[in-house]
Amino acid sequence: MKLFANSISIIFFRANRFFTMATSVLIPDEQVRGMKDLNKDRFLKTVRIPCLLVRKETVSKILPVIKPYLIKLENFKAIKEVNVHNIQVFLNPDKVVDWKYISNEALSKLVSLELTPDNFKFENVTLTYDNYSYETILKSVLPKNTDGFSSFTIIGHILHVNLRDHLIPYKELIGQVLLEKVKKCKTVVNKIDIIDNTYRNFKMELLTGENRMQTGVKENGCLFEFDFSTVYWNSRLCTEHERIIQMVKPGDLFIDIFAGVGPFSIPIAKKKCNVHANDLNPESFRWLNHNIKINKVKENYIKTYNKDGKDFITENVRILLLENLNKRSIHIAMNLPGLAVQFVPYFLGLLRENIIEIMNLPLLHVYCFAKGSETNTNYKNIAKELIIKQNVMLNIEDKIIDVFEVRTVSNFKKMMKVTLKLDEEILLASYTFKRKNDSEEIFTSKIMKCQHGKK
C-alpha cells in the first residue's frame, strides 16, 4: 500500500510539473491580446523567479551543471553579482519551481559543490517589453486559432514581410515590433501584390522606418546592390545560387535567361566562365551591369542583354549553342518559377536548320512552382508534369535527369528545379509555329532526319 501511495505521489508530482510548464510565466499577460497600437506599459509583469546564491569562486564549476536551467530573456542577465563574495544565478521558472525540480544527477553535483536547498531562493522580478523577443510579443498579441506571423526576409537594412489578410489590421504594430527587435533593421515593408507582372517586382508598402529602398547584400563572395522596389531579390535562394555556382566549372558556358541583378551570373563569371546574362526588366539590367563593375568582373567573361526571354532564346542562345556545342559544357538557367516552363518550348527546333551531332549535351535548369494538395504531395511528379504539358508535341520525359526541391514557399507549394538535357530530338526538331493570341502559342512538331541517321 505504501508503494502504491508513493507511485501516486510520483505521478501527481510529474503531472503537476507538466501543467506548470505547459503555461509559461515568461510570456506577456493575456491583456495584450488583440492590441493594434503598441502600448509597452501593458507588457509590465512581475514574476517570481527562482535563483541560486553561490560563492564567486565556485560559479565557474556550477554553471555547466545548471546551464539547461538558466533563464533566457532579452536584456536580462541570468548571472548577477550580489556582493564581493556572492553571485546570483537566475533559473527558468517554467523548468524549476522548487529545488527538487532539478535532476538528481545535477543535484548530486551541486551538493558536491556545497550547495543545498538553503542556496535556493525566489526573487520578484518585473519584466518589461524589452525582455521579450519579437516572436513572443507577436504570438501574445495576434489572434489565437489563426495562422500567426511566421517569417520574414532580410535584404540589407530592409526587412520584408508578406502579411496575410487577417494580419493587416495589426501591420503597424508588427512593423514597429520588428523594427525595434531585429538587429540592423531600418526599414520594414509589406508585399501587397503577387509577382505576376512583366518585370518580376511587386508592389509594397512601407510599414515603418526609413523610406530607403536602395540596399546591398553580400552573397557567395560578391556584393549585390539594387533598389528593392524595382527588382526581384530573394535571400532565401542563397543556397540554390551557391549550388549552381559550384556546378559550373571554369571554362564552361553559362547562359542566364532571367538573370535579375546577377546572383548566378556574377559569381560564375568570377570563376572565369563564359557568361551571357539577360533580363527584360531595365532596372534589373541596370543593376546587373552596376554589380558587374563593383565586383570587378572582367568584361571578357560576361556579356549582358536586355531582351524578352523568347527573343533571347531564339536569337542569342541559338547562336551561342552553335558556337559552343561539343567545345565546352553548357548550363542554361531559367529562374523565373512563375513562368519559366512556358519558355521551354522555344528550345524545340532551335537548331533545326543545322546538321550537327551533339555529343556534349547542354543542361537546362528550369525553376517552377509545384502546387500540391492534401491528396497529392508528390512535388517532383507535379514539377515534371508542368514541363511535360508544355511540350505535348514531343515526349521529353526521358530528357529529365533531375528534379530537385529548392524551398518551401507555403502550404502545398514548393519551388522546384527541373534539369533536362537538350539533345538532338529537342534542338533539331522541325516545327511550325502559330500564335493564337498574345498569350498562347501552339507548336506542331516532327523530328527531322539527320545525316548521321538519328530521328
- Residue 156 Rama label (left phi>0; alpha psi -120 to 50; beta): left
C-beta separation of 16 from 101 below 8 A: no
b/e code 414-426 from CB counts within 10 Å (16+ = b): bbbbbbbbbebbb
91 carries a ligand binding annotation: no
| Nearest to 195, CA basis, from 158, 242, 160 | 160
The reply, when asked if residue 251 is annotated as ligand binding, is no
Q: How far is CA 382 from the centre of its chain?
A: 21
The answer to whether 230 and 200 have CB atoms below 8 angstroms apart is no
Distance of CA 220 to the CA centre of its chain: 15
Host H or E run for residue 255: strand 253-256
308 is in an annotated binding site: yes
Please, are residues 433 and 356 in contact by the beta-carbon 8 Å criterion? no
Residue 316 DSSP label: I
Separation between Cα atoms, residue 120 and residue 50, nearest integer Å: 7
**Strand-strand pairing, 45-55 and 86-90:** antiparallel
Please state, in angstroms and rounded to a whole number, the distance separating the CA atoms of residues 21 and 160. 34
Rounded to whole angstroms, what are the CA distances from 104 to 62, 65, 110, 294, 303?
15, 11, 10, 60, 68
- 428 known member of a binding site: no
Q: For residue 275, is it left (φ>0), alpha (ψ between -120 and 50) or beta?
A: beta
Annotated binding site for S-adenosyl-L-methionine: 241, 279-280, 308-309, 335
Annotated binding site: 241, 279-280, 308-309, 335
